Amino acid sequence: MQQDLAKKAAGEAAAAYIQPGMTIGLGTGSTAYYAIMRIGELVRNGMQLQAVATSAASEELARAQQIPIIPFEQVDSIDLDIDGADEADESLQLIKGGGGALLREKIVAAAAKEMLVIMDASKLVKQLGNFPLPVEIIPFAWELTFRHLEQSGASPVLRRKEGKIFITDNGNYILDCHYGRITAAPELHRQLNDIPGVVENGLFLRYASRLLIGYADGSVRSL
């Protein structure tokens, strides 16, 4: 499919930013998949590097590709985080969490010197908010947190997968919150993280250093 070709182009282009010896943050999702596969090739061709993963799924994929995964207690710093996005604007503000890994993704992004965002061109938007904002919440009294989020102007939907409540790698739930156009992202970010029960939200406002935008013809634009 056309979108997959664009994701592949962006994911594989990330490899050009990797230097031997780096510690890499491995993102989560179908675009990060292509980056991880390419990084696996680099490793099998002899490049020395190490990585941390933002989800159990990415860790499993990376290990299968022979990418050395190190525990976080051995991490001094992360040189380059490579991750996807659900939406990005031209100021490099992001919505993430469509794959449910936003909390670990944000922890890794915050620890990285640089964050490279890999995405197909459909993810680039004028204003964030068409994609429902994922908010990770603790399961305890989640109905009260739900109501708080409703009061913040969202229409939250408890995420489900195959008919069951979706559980994150951290044992939490996700509420997908549709706000329409998000005009004051920093205020919304603060407001959401102030709600008891909210662990983290999917607004990534000051982490991305560069967007690699892939197209179905295999070309990639850097922003």
Binding residues for substrate: 28-31, 83-86, 96-99, 123
Binders of ligand 5RP among 45-84, rule CB under 6 A? Answer: 83-84
Residue of 25, 99, 197, 214 interacting with ligand 5RP (CB under 6 A): 99
Measured from the Cβ of residue 162, the count of other Cβ atoms closer than 10 Å reads 5
Q: Does 25 bind ligand 5RP (CB under 6 A)?
A: no
Q: Does 89 bind ligand 5RP (CB under 6 A)?
A: no
Contact predicate 189/201, CB 8 Å: yes
SS3 138: coil
> Which range binds ligand 5RP by CB under 6 A, 22-30, 71-79, 143-151, 185-193?
22-30
Residue of 23, 31, 93, 168 interacting with ligand 5RP (CB under 6 A): 31
Establish whether 143 is a catalytic residue.
Answer: no
Strand runs labelled E in the chain? 23-26, 50-53, 78-83, 87-88, 94-95, 112-120, 133-137, 155-158, 160-161, 164-165, 173-178, 198-201, 203-204, 210-214, 220-222
Q: Does 8 bind ligand 5RP (CB under 6 A)?
A: no
Binders of ligand 5RP among 105-124, rule CB under 6 A? Answer: 105
Helices (H), the chain: 2-13, 30-44, 56-64, 102-111, 142-151, 185-193
Taking the least distance from each CB to ligand 5RP, the nearer of 4 and 47 is 4
Residue of 88, 102, 137, 149 interacting with ligand 5RP (CB under 6 A): 102
Say which residue the tokens 């989800």 belong to: 55
Q: How far apart are CA 6 and CA 136, in angstroms?
A: 28
Q: How far apart are CA 178 and CA 168, in angstroms?
A: 20
> Which range binds ligand 5RP by CB under 6 A, 56-64, 98-106, 176-184, 208-216?
98-106
Q: Does 96 bind ligand 5RP (CB under 6 A)?
A: yes
Residues annotated as part of the active site: 105
Which residues sit at the interface with ligand 5RP, rule CB under 6 A? 27-31, 83-86, 96-102, 105
